Structure 1
Amino acid sequence: MSTIKKLLLSLFIITIISVTGIYLYSINRTFPNDKELRGNTAGNLYNGGLFCEKDGRIYFSNDNDDGSLYVMNSDTSKYKKIHPDKATYINVDENYIYYIRANNTRENNPDIFFMFNNTGIFRINQNGKNLKLISRNPGSYLTLKGNLVYYLNYKVNEGLYLYRNQTDGEFERLLLKEPVIPAAIIDNKLYYISEKKNHSINYMNLSSFTTGVHIEGNFAYPIFFDNYIYYMDLSNNYSINRMNLDGSDPTVLVNERCSTFNITNSGKYLYYQVDDKDNSKICRIDLTTMETKVLLDGHYKQIHVTDNYVFFKDFDNKNTYMVSADGSSKVEPFNPPNLSKDNDSKTSK
């Protein structure tokens, strides 16, 4: 073999080794996030985390395909199936999707008897490849902030406690031996409601891991938004209220018994479900004028917001609806296609 051929062969081998090394490094590498990145809004996560918007795309759990993980454009066009898992508590960053696998709750589950395979916390690339296990145990209220994920995790010998893990799943830490729901992470403090302390808003310092009471009260589902905390007041018939971040100037916004609510990304409207037997209804209130509008009479749940739309479901899970987030109050059915037959063979298992 001539010297030139040997040189070319050596260069070819070096190139193959380099490309392979870069490929393997990219697969196994976890790309870092900005420390202030938030994976989904608190309002969406309180409602199940079934929709999450990132960079003009909406990732969602498609009821028409038994809850499988899908993505669509922000104008609800161009649907794509990402993974056949039933996905809840969806969070998204620049590279990955994080979600709770809830296959044990789906209607058509061939592996229903293998419960260890049907739950867990996972991360997957946005192209549907490289599924990675974060935690094998059943979880809920998954929340991504920066390069850390927070979640409730159930362990048989321990119970339902609050944990934290890195986004690569390599360092799980028990934070609280309570089933608390992360409400906000601001200035390295985790805010949450504690059932042991009369539903006050508490905090954990994430440097010292010490806890304290931020605002005493009887609250549920606090949403920290701009200069306010929106919440349900359990001492006042589950009405919806807001107060300043320090707890001052509490104001009643909806003086009816409610079961859930959410706030549009613009902060213009608050959508809420009134839970009052025959007078039940889903409504919205203009937070500037305080004018209210009834959207539909009846029982609805799981209100999710994106930049352009608000999605919600009827109570028996038969239908999902959508309405303009900050515009028309006309309600339309949200009826995405079932791409199961087309995409299952292309999806990472």
Structure 2
Amino acid sequence: MSTIKKVLLTLFIITTLSLAGILLYSWNRTFANDENLIGNTAGNIYNGGLFCEKDGIIYFSNDKDNGSLYMMKSDATDIKKLHDDKAAYINVDENYIYYIRAVDTKSVNSGSSLPFNNTGIYRINRNGEGLKLISSKPGSYITLKGNHLYYQNYDVDRGVSLYRNQTDGSHQRLLLIEPAIPAAVINDRLYYTEADSDYSISYLDLSSFTTGTFIEGDFAYPVFFGDYIYYIDRSAGTINRMSLNGTDRTVLVKEKCSAYNITNSGKYLYYQVNDADNSKLCRMNLETSAVEILMEGHFKQIHVTENYVFFKDMDNTNTYIIPADGKAKVSIFNPPDLNP
């Protein structure tokens, strides 16, 4: 063999081994996030986390294919299937998708609508490959902040508790034995409400792991947005707003509501009114307080992306789509079933 051929063969072997080493390193490595990264909005997570947008791509649970994990562009085109798993509580970072594998879900107690009896929390690459188990126990309300996942976990003996994992699934830690629903992580504090006892907004200091009451009240589904905290008043069922220190409490929607969400621009509040004779899905312009009735009837799971709002019939017959900040034109969202 000539000297040139030997040199070329040596370079080929070195290159091949280097590429193999890089591939093996990347395969086993969990890429770190910016500590301020948020995996999905609180409003979407409260509504089941069935839609999540990242970098102009919407990841969603497709009812037309038994809730399988799909993706599409932000304009709701170029729809592709990622995995057969029925996905809920979807969170996305720069490299991965995190979700509940929501199989045979049901409520675990009369005071909660949390879907458990699923088969665990999973992570998958954004190209649909590299499935990884994060937690094998039933979970709910996954919230990704930075390099940690906060979520409710169900144990037969203990019941519902709040846990935290690193995004690679390691360092699982029990944070609260109460059935706390995470609302936001701000300045090393986890803000939460409890699902069946104390409905004040409380906090857990993530450095000292001590707890305290942040704002006393009767709150459900608080959303920290801009200069305000939006919430449902549990006693009255109204949608209210207050300043970040709990003052200046204002009733926005006087009717009894079951679900709501706020567009990314902060312009519109979408909400479901529950009334035996006058149930309806509406939106309020938060700049003018003008209200539009979008559809009459019972609807649920209001999700917001940059360009659209999605919501569903109570019996999951249809999913609807409407421009988030545009004209109040509701259409049926009808993605294809790409099950092979």
TM-score of the two chains, using structure 2 as the length reference: 0.94
Could you tell me whether the CA contact under 8 Å between 2:181 and 2:195 is conserved in 1? no
Corresponding pairs, count: 331
Q: How does 1:114-129 map to 2 (within 5 A)?
A: 119-129=119-129
Q: How far did 1:195 drift? A: 4.8
Find the counterpart in structure 1 of residue 154 from structure 2: 154
Task: Spell out the pairing of 1:198-347 with structure 2 (5 A cutoff).
Answer: 198-235=198-235, 237-341=236-340
Once the two structures are TM-superposed, the CA of residue 188 in structure 1 deviates from its matched residue by 0.7
Does structure 1 retain, via aligned residues, the 8 Å contact 2:153–2:162? yes
Q: Which letter maps to 2:318? A: N
Amino acid at match of 1:240: I
CA distance in structure 1 between the aligned counterparts of 2:249 and 2:158, rounded to whole angstroms: 38
Paired residue secondary structure (1:340):
coil
Query: 2:144 — aligned with what?
Result: 144
Deviation at 1:7, TM superposition (A): 3.8
Post-superposition offset of 1:105: 4.0
Note the residue ranges of structure 2 that are not aligned, 5 or more in a row: 107-116
| Separation in 2, partners of 1:45, 1:195 | 15
Letter in 2 for 1:153: N
| Partner SS, residue 290 of structure 1 | coil
Query: For residue 227 of structure 2, what is the amino acid of its counterpart?
Result: N
Mark the CA change 1:76 to 1:183 in structure 2 (over 3 Å): closer, same or farther.
Answer: same
Find the counterpart in structure 1 of residue 24 from structure 2: 24
State the 1:2 CA deviation: 4.8
AA matched with 1:14: I
Distance 1:319 1:196 in 2: 31
1:171 deviation in Å?
A: 1.1
CA-CA distance at 1:12 after TM superposition: 2.5
Provide the C-alpha distance between the structure 2 equivalents of 1:17 and 1:156, rounded to a whole number of angstroms.
48
Aligned to 1:27, the other structure's residue is in SS state helix
What is the Cα deviation at residue 10 of structure 1?
3.0
**Offset of residue 262 of structure 1:** 0.4
CA distance change for structure 1 residues 180 and 123 in 2, over 3 Å: closer, same or farther?
same
Q: Which residue of 2 aligns with 1:70?
A: 70
Consecutive unaligned residues in structure 1, runs of 5 or more: 107-116, 342-349
CA distance in 2, matches of 1:49, 1:62: 12
Partner SS for 2:277: helix
Q: Deviations over 1:28-73 (max 9, x none)?
A: 1111111000000000000000000111111000000000000001
What value does the CA root-mean-square deviation take over the aligned residues? Answer: 1.6
| Equivalent in the alignment of 1:167 | 167
State how far apart, in whole Å, the 2-side matches of 1:2 and 1:49 are: 62
2:38: which partner in 1?
38
Distance 2:80 2:102 in 1: 20
In the TM superposition, what whole-angstrom CA distance separates every residue of 1:175-194 from its partner, at most 9, and x where no partner exists?
A: 00011110011111000013
How far, CA to CA, are the matches of 1:47 and 1:118 in structure 2?
A: 17
Give the TM-score normalised by structure 1: 0.92
User: Which residue of structure 1 lines up, in the alignment, with residue 53 of structure 2?
Assistant: 53
CA–CA distance in structure 2, aligned partners of residues 319 and 197 of structure 1: 34
CA distance in 2, matches of 1:76, 1:141: 25
